[in-house]
Amino acid sequence: MSQPRAAAVRNARRQAHGPGWVLAGDAGHYKDPVSAQGISDAFADAYVLADALDAGLSGSTGLDSALAGYAATRDAQRLGAFAYTCEQAELRHFGAGVLGDLAGTAADERAVEAFLNTFVGCDAPSDPGWLGESHY
């Protein structure tokens, strides 16, 4: 009898805009729900996109330039967490290094708050490179 396996979820990042179109939320970047950030990302994208559309449609800047700014902001805000989510979705065994880091975090109330706020997408990671590294 084979062991049960987690369903494979395709993680995808798409170009954020083009002539006459723009993507936000899961339409622009879909990732495994393991990090529970989907709705938070969608609202954050909508917030940045609303400002870009206002600037582009009011004439204060060109629409293409405004949407390019939205795309750059979206990618800067999401790339580290996207890599982290893809890594966590592999459901690999945690090594001693990760467990030691978590034990140290658990002993510090501020570190716990920072970890949880980053994990659920309330705060940007202080070291986005760490999120995309392997810690196994």
pTM: 0.69
d(CA 17, CA 116): 31
Full pLDDT tens readout for the chain, 136 residues: 444 455 566 788 899 999 989 999 888 888 888 877 788 888 989 999 999 999 999 999 999 999 999 999 999 988 887 887 887 787 777 777 878 888 888 888 888 888 777 777 666 555 554 444 444 4
Do residues 36 and 30 make contact, with C-beta atoms less than 8 angstroms apart?
A: no
Cβ–Cβ < 8 Å for 120, 36: yes
State both tokens at 31.
């990732």
Q: Where are the domains of the chain?
A: 13-131
> Are residues 87 and 93 in contact, defined by beta-carbon separation less than 8 angstroms?
no
How big is the CA angle at 132 (ends 130 and 136), to the nearest 5 degrees?
80
